[in-house]
Amino acid sequence: MRAYLDIETTFGNTISVIGIYRPDLGTIQLVGGGVHDLALYAALEGVQTLVTFNGSSFDLPYIRKTLYADLKREYEHCDLMHVCRQHGLRGGLKKIEERLGIGRATAGITGWDAPRLWNRYETYGDRGALQTLLDYNREDVVNLAVLEHHLGISEPTPACELVRHVFA
């Protein structure tokens, strides 16, 4: 079983959202106080392989540093950034998606916007900012599965619309 993982961070160097897309369960998002090791392992139950984009350098080390969960050691890992480079595709995830015609409802939002959106939610209670952040993260993880298929690594997976949020 494969799971597609991406994190969003805050200005305070914590994780605001861990998004996990599982073709069997849909999208699971650990949010705010719901971001902790036990919830992460529960969301990954039955998974053998994690798929990320630049997760070797960013997501997995960040999770290890903040949650003390060494996912690199505990799961097989496929970093699509390196696979893309082998196929002559360079740049960030959004640039590669655009080049391959993979669409996004949250086009124009980047990883640099994620801490700003979280800050607006935490500081002002802006539920719209939180929803935009969650939508952005959901598209990140679901599009990893779409990208993997474009690269010829996996069979197409249905973009299940079931989304479960885990807060504190």
Per-residue model confidence (pLDDT) at position 43: 97
| Domain range 2-166, CATH class | alpha beta
pLDDT at 109: 92
Length of the chain: 168
Write the CA distances from 46 to 25, 49, 79, integer angstroms: 11, 10, 20
- If one counts every other C-beta atom within 10 angstroms of the C-beta of residue 87, the result is 12
At residue 71, the pLDDT reads 97
pLDDT along the chain (168 residues), means of 10: 97 97 96 96 97 97 97 95 92 92 91 95 97 97 94 59 50
pLDDT at residue 154, rounded to an integer: 63
Q: Give 68-120 as a DSSP string.
A: ---HHHHSEEEEHHHHHHHTT--S-HHHHHHHHT---TTTT--TTHHHHHHHH
Q: What was the pLDDT predicted at 125?
A: 97
CA dist 131 and 44 (Å) reads 23
Domains of the chain, residue spans: 2-166
For 39, 98, 106, 165, the CA distances from 158, given in Å and listed in that order, are: 24, 20, 19, 20
